[in-house]
Amino acid sequence: MKTLVVYDSVYGNTEKIAKAVGGAITGEVKVVSAKEAGTADLTAIDLLIVGAPTQAGRATPPVMEFLNKIPADGLKNVKVAAFDTRVKVLIAKVFGYAGGRISEILKSKGGNVAVPAEGFIVKGKEGPIAEGELERAAAWAKKIAEGK
């Protein structure tokens, strides 16, 4: 299976999650920042996973720019999944999280959503990642890759 993991990271936490996700999947896996990713990276992939930190309920501008470059039906026959990093605060629930919005965009581009978007917890705005989240990210990725 050929997998592409695209992420943006402000403080390095989302990058760590993305690398844990990519490291858990067998086959040909490329983990790349959204600033470096292009639509050419979407050629002949089987699985696309996109992640971003949640900022005011949305993904960061580099992730949105990457998603906006994907043509309509550009993800036809591609399995897709999304994740975000988030803090555990009540106000965040009011705005929502980036993962769900990313997933909807991937679906609108023709992607087959493999699983609901997942959120991984960071302690405070700058982190660090909460204990056990890297392992949880790896387990989540394995389930996606195995089709469970």
Mean pLDDT along residues 11-33? 97
- The pLDDT of residue 61 is 97
Q: Which residues pair with 121 in a beta bridge?
A: 86
- The pLDDT of residue 85 is 96
Which residue in this structure is represented by tokens 């679906």? 107
Superfamily of domain 2-145: Flavodoxin domain (3.40.50.360)
- The pLDDT of residue 93 is 62
Instruction: Provide the mean pLDDT of the chain.
Output: 93
- The pLDDT of residue 89 is 66
78, amino acid identity = V
Quote the CA–CA distance of 109 and 102 in Å, as a whole number.
11
| Contact criterion met (CB below 8 Å) for 81 and 120 | no
Mean pLDDT along residues 137-141? 97
**Strand segments (E) across 12-117:** 28-33, 47-53, 79-86, 112-113
Structure confidence by residue, pLDDT tens digits, 79-110: 999 999 998 765 556 678 999 999 999 999 99
Q: What are phi and psi of 122, to 5 degrees?
A: -115, 150
Structure confidence by residue, pLDDT tens digits, 124-135: 888 899 999 999
| Contact criterion met (CB below 8 Å) for 105 and 34 | no
